[in-house]
Amino acid sequence: MAAANPTLPSAIVLPTFFDRIMRALREIIWAETANIRFFGRYEYSVHASSGTLPGPVTIDATPTDPTIKLPPVTKCPVYPGLLGEGVDTVPQGTLVRVMFVNGVRSRPEIVGIGSVSADATVDATGTLKLGPSAGTVSVAGGGPAAARQADSVLVYFPPLMQLSGVVGTGPSALPFVGILSVPTPGIGSIQTGSAKTNIG
C-alpha cells in the first residue's frame, strides 16, 4: 500500500454560498469606490523630469505606497505655486505631492515638491511684484543695500588728476598744465537704471 503524500491537502474546501456572496459584495464596493482614491494628495517618487521654464516642466513618478494601488504618472505637469513659482529640473528620487484634478485619473498634477530644487523661477505675465508692503526684501541671502535711480551717491575722485588747457583768449592765451587734487568726495545722483526693474 502506497504511503500518503503529506504535501497534498487531505480535503478540498469549496467556497460556501456565504463566501461567494462576500466576494461579489467586495467586488461591487471596489467598483463603486475605486475613484475615491483620486481625491487625495499622495507622495510620489520622481524617476525623470523634462522641460525647462518658461515652457512646461513634466515629471515621471511612481507612488511610494503600493498598497493604495495608485497608477504611476508619466509626463505629469508641475503646477505653478501661488506666486507663480516653478522649477526647471527635479532630480531623480525627489519626493513630490500628486493630486488628480476633479478626481479624474487622467489629470494628475504635481502640486508640491519635498525638497528645494537647484533651479527655480518666479514668473508673471505682467508685472512681478515682490514684497509691495514688506519693510525690507532680501535677495540671495541679503547683503549691501541696493541703489536706485535718483538716489544720492558719493563720488570719489582719483588722488591726482592731470589737467591741461589754455588760460585766456586771443593772442594773450597761455597754455596751462597742472595737477588737480580733490581730497573729499563729491555728492551726485544716479541718473539712469534698468527699465525692467523698479525698486521702492
Coil, helix or strand at residue 191: coil
Residues in the chain: 200
d(CA 197, CA 143) in angstroms, rounded, equals 18
pLDDT tens per residue, the chain (200 residues)? 555 555 555 667 777 888 888 888 888 887 777 788 899 999 999 999 888 777 788 999 999 999 888 999 999 998 877 666 777 778 889 899 999 999 999 999 999 887 766 566 777 777 777 777 877 888 777 788 888 888 888 888 888 888 888 888 888 888 888 888 888 888 989 888 887 777 77
Element (H, E) at 177: strand 174-180
Note the helical H segments in 3-115.
17-33
Strand partners, 161: 180
User: 3-class SS at 103?
Assistant: helix
Distances (CA, A) of 192 to 74, 148, 195: 49, 9, 9
Q: What is the predicted pLDDT for the residue at 46?
A: 93
The confidence score (pLDDT) of residue 11 equals 65
Q: Model-level pTM?
A: 0.54
Phi, psi of 102 (to 5 degrees): 55, 25
